[in-house]
Amino acid sequence: MKLIKIEVSEELFKKINQNAKLKGLTDEKFISQILARFVQEPHIMDKQEVADGYKECGAINIEIANL
């Protein structure tokens, strides 16, 4: 394994720490899992799919608001 040193804001660090604790992980293990997932499965962050999802949700919200 390689060691990577990163800097994050205090706010982001708190969120990482809180989420790691919820999952029973160390901060390092939590970050490692996030990186592994997004590097190995880049399609889950496809910008067009995300944009389309937001558009679909927006359309649904507008329909609900017009009921």
Q: What is the pLDDT of residues 18-63, one digit of tens each?
A: 999 999 999 999 999 988 887 776 666 667 777 888 888 888 888 8
Q: Is residue 38 a part of any domain in this protein? A: yes
For the record, the structure tokens of 13 come out as: 């660090």
Instruction: Give the per-residue pLDDT at 31.
Output: 93
Q: Give the max Cα distance, the chain.
A: 55
Domain-located, residue 11: no
Number of domains in the chain: 1
pLDDT number for residue 41: 65
Structural domain for 31, as ranges: 20-65
Distance CA 10, CA 36 (A): 23
- Whether residue 12 is predicted with pLDDT greater than 90 in this model: the reply is yes
What pTM value is reported for the model? 0.57
